[in-house]
Amino acid sequence: MSKVKITLPDGTVKDVDQGTTPLDIALSIGAGLARQTVAARLDDCQVDATTPIQQDSSLQLITLNTPEGLEIYRHSSAHLMAHAVKELFGNDVQVTIGPAIEDGFYYDFFCETHTFSPDDFELIEKKMAELASADLPIVREVMKRDDAIALFRGMGEDYKVELIQDLEVEEVSLYRQGSFVDLCRGPHIPSTKMLKAFKLTSVAGAYWRGSEDNAMLQRLYATAFPDKKELKKYLARLEEARKRDHRKLGRELDLFSFSDEAGAGLVIWHPKGAMLRTLLENFEREEHLKRGYELVVGPQILRTELWQKSGHFDNYRENMYFTEVDGQSYGVKPMNCLAHMLIYKSKRRSYRDLPQRYFELGMVHRHEKSGVLHGLLRVRGFTQDDAHILCTPEQLDGEIKGVLKFIQDVMGVFGFEYELELSTRPDKSIGSEEDWGRATAALQSALDDTGLPYDINEGDGAFYGPKIDIKIKDALDRKWQCATIQCDFTLPERFDLTYIGSDGEKHRPVMLHRVILGAIERFVGVLIEHYAGNFPLWIAPVQAKVLNVTDNQAAYAQQVCDQLRQQGVRVQADLRNEKLGFKIREAQMEKVPYMLVIGDKEMDAGTLSPRHRSGETLDPVNPAEFAAFVKEECRQYR
């Protein structure tokens, strides 16, 4: 039998028989490694662990303890779930697609006779466990395209037929496990026996291929881990996330609501929620003014010709709303940059005037599909803490670093760690290769100089320029996209923005588009979940509640409330004829930082007794002392 040379990542070369599999090689190294091997990378291509090796190759084993291995494990778990659903519901169900996603996987099904619900989860999980314990080999098969179409058509799997028909290939790969067969590129784990810990988590609707014009499918979400201990730990975190869900807390804390009468994706802010976002906006204004930004305000609608000129009409039109006034077409702004450029262009600029930093808390609207709307995190109308910096090319590096420092300072206030990502030119874009190259190099150079680690996200830049995206990590270690810095040489060209240089000639400025918190609505949603509704004192909508013990202290309690309000404390009085314990519990449920108890003793002494929402009690103080205490605690955050 012929021999082939296999080169391992550490440089070791193994001479093995032709037809040896990666799993064989793993076993020759150690049984433990073989148990952990889910697939392999052969000459830098992912393959199944059972793939026969026919020629000299480099080989890297993919194991469960790697992100790549876990993704393959979860993809195989998606097939297991689809197999179980088919076993349980038979030909009433058609399978579509089932990818691995962050923290788990999903599979979309078409079924007209049964609506999946959490009541089905235990049944499906039990069948998955049966199939896993059956130790079914997961076998790859290559089939001619037309034969595969005939196979799936005969099985009544219309969605698989459509997928294959859209592929411009001669052959496709299928994966079989027992009675189940699925169209898939792979790779997959060698056997169902490897799948030991999985859990269905939720069910949702999803349009086929994401289009509202197509059929509505049923999406089963699930997760899987190599062992039950990891699964248990994840489920505990998931339960904590449910408790922190900003939609649930938003209702309980009376912060905001949505109404079908108003329209999907449009937030209605209640008094406490409006106070919270106002505090954030005031904080933003102060921080921007400290850094040399100027406040501006642009109109909500601008003529469609302007959006055509900017490239938004051709590249972003499906996300925009349009209206007509006096026979003239207008676009409702999805971004604030156009008005800012018009402000810059309103008069002659010298290099001595630059940089110009325009900041606007601008309300924008974007046409998001109904299926992706999600509380405050994905809405159709929102406010961006938007700024545009117009500067000379020589100032660009310093301005990018200034924004990075700004982001660092602000995220520190909220206690967020974050990661950075540099996104490059997408397929759908405007501008020259030269300008894109200059913009990308400027962002990358600034990142390199700061020494901050970052990843490259190929092809995910804005249509007018590359960007640095900042992903913050909350208390549950989840990542949220908020801040961004976009470098743009193209729109200044399209709008003929110029400045007079030191040589007396006209030059083209560079524009940075940037947000710090991002959408205020989204950031509030993240904050609610990060703090579980227990906002720091400085942004708590209600900082304290005055609670009287009996009606005898009601007048004094109201007087204390008025005094504190005059001294800038956000305070409410609860003077109901209820037991003190009941009022304290209610205030704790509302997550009010301080409860100020007033009985006869406090009334006689002209004091109040503060109690923190954690249950800690403080020494009695007079109203002026408590107001000073609140100001000092707030100052420490800022």
Check if the beta carbon of residue 423 is closer than 8 Å to that of residue 466.
yes
337 has catalytic annotation: yes
272 has catalytic annotation: no
Residue 454 CB coordination number (10 Å)? 17
The beta-carbon contacts of 433-441 under 8 Å, at least 24 apart in sequence, are 435/489, 435/490, 435/493, 436/465, 436/466, 436/489, 438/393, 438/489, 439/465, 439/466, 439/487, 439/488, 439/489, 439/510, 440/466, 440/487
Among residues 467, 530, 545, 583, the one annotated as catalytic is 467
Of 417, 435, 359, 418, whose CA–CA distance to 443 is shortest?
Answer: 435
111 has catalytic annotation: no
Among residues 83, 513, 514, 545, the one annotated as catalytic is 513
Among residues 199, 366, 570, 613, the one annotated as catalytic is 366
d(CA 587, CA 591): 6
The beta-carbon contacts of 284-293 under 8 Å, at least 24 apart in sequence, are 284/361, 284/385, 284/516, 284/517, 285/359, 285/361, 287/406, 287/409, 287/410, 287/516, 288/357, 288/359, 288/387, 291/357, 291/402, 291/406, 292/357, 293/357, 293/358, 293/359, 293/387
Specify whether the backbone of 5 is left (phi greater than 0), alpha (psi in -120 to 50) or beta: beta
Among residues 86, 246, 365, 388, the one annotated as catalytic is 388
Check if the beta carbon of residue 246 is closer than 8 Å to that of residue 257.
no
Cβ neighbourhood burial of 385 (10 Å; 0-12, 13-18, 19+): buried
Among residues 60, 94, 177, 384, the one annotated as catalytic is 384
Cβ neighbourhood burial of 286 (10 Å; 0-12, 13-18, 19+): exposed
Among residues 184, 337, 391, 487, the one annotated as catalytic is 337
Of 326, 293, 327, 320, whose CA–CA distance to 514 is shortest?
Answer: 293
Check if the beta carbon of residue 82 is closer than 8 Å to that of residue 31.
no
386 has catalytic annotation: yes
513 has catalytic annotation: yes
The 3 state secondary structure assigned to 1-51 is CCEEEEECCCCCEEEEECCCCHHHHHHHHCHHHHHHEEEEEECCEEEECCC
634 has catalytic annotation: no
Check if the beta carbon of residue 177 is closer than 8 Å to that of residue 192.
yes
Structure tokens at 148: 């595969």
Helices (H), 291-372: 304-310, 312-315, 337-345
Among residues 386, 435, 469, 574, the one annotated as catalytic is 386
Q: Which residues are catalytic?
A: 337, 366, 384, 386, 388, 467, 513
